[in-house]
Amino acid sequence: MHDTRTDISLKPRDLAVAHLLLRLLIGVNFFNHGFTRIGNIPGFVEETVKTLQGSYFPEPLVRLNAYLVPIIELVVGILIILGLSTRIALIVTSALMIMLMMGVTSVQKWEIATSQLIYGIVLFALLATCRFNWFSIDNWLGRKHRRDTVSERSDEVLSYRDRS
């Protein structure tokens, strides 16, 4: 009998390219969220306070978080685009999304919660596939560090042999 099944296994390089493209997509999104808000943080804060009016969160806490959101979005966006401290940036971004989800669901803004849930799923996928973060500064630095470490160990082995 002839096996007619198709091999649908994913190639590591394809997963690395997919990870890169998704990482760039979400990174650009968060960067632009932060970049467009950073010039008018007071306006963003007032809009956020208005949106969360009637929630169980005290207004000073809403204001504080709203001041921080654009800065965090800008920084994590840059880190995710570059692939620098990627895992930490994805975790911080996920924590940000959880915080934002708490806010919008407390005032029953389900349409906003839906888009935030999609962000959460994308962040989860990126975090789960970090081992395929080949096209990143993290990977480049890791390779350089591994090369330097191997070189140092080779020098140690050679100096040990000289003592014998």
Instruction: Tell me the pLDDT tens digit for each residue of 93-122.
Output: 999 999 999 999 999 999 999 999 999 999
For the chain, the average pLDDT equals: 90
pLDDT of the residue at 163: 53
Q: Within a domain: residue 128?
A: yes
pLDDT of the residue at 143: 80
Torsional sign, CA 48, 42, 31, 132: negative
E strand map for the chain: none
Q: Within a domain: residue 142?
A: no
Q: What amino acid occupies position 157?
A: V
Lowest mean pLDDT among 75-79, 80-84, 131-135, 145-149: 145-149
Instruction: Tell me the pLDDT tens digit for each residue of 121-150.
Output: 999 999 999 999 999 999 999 987 666 665
d(C-alpha 55, C-alpha 32), whole Å:
27
User: Band of the pLDDT at 161, cuts 50, 70, 90?
Assistant: low
Residue 21, pLDDT above cutoff 50: yes
Q: Within a domain: residue 164?
A: no
CA neighbor of 16 nearest in space, from 120, 143, 129, 124: 129
Helix (H, G, I), strand (E, B) or coil at 11: coil
User: Band of the pLDDT at 159, cuts 50, 70, 90?
Assistant: low
Domain limits at 120?
Answer: 12-133
Q: Within a domain: residue 42?
A: yes
Q: Within a domain: residue 90?
A: yes
Q: Within a domain: residue 70?
A: yes
d(C-alpha 117, C-alpha 101), whole Å:
8
Q: Name residues whose C-beta falls within 8 Å of residue 101's C-beta, 6 or more positions apart in sequence.
A: 113, 116, 117, 120
H or E segment and range at residue 92: helix 86-106
Please tell me the total count of domains within the chain: 1
pLDDT of the residue at 157: 47
How far is C-alpha 160 from the chain's CA centre? 44
CA neighbor of 38 nearest in space, from 64, 82, 73, 79: 73
Q: Within a domain: residue 48?
A: yes
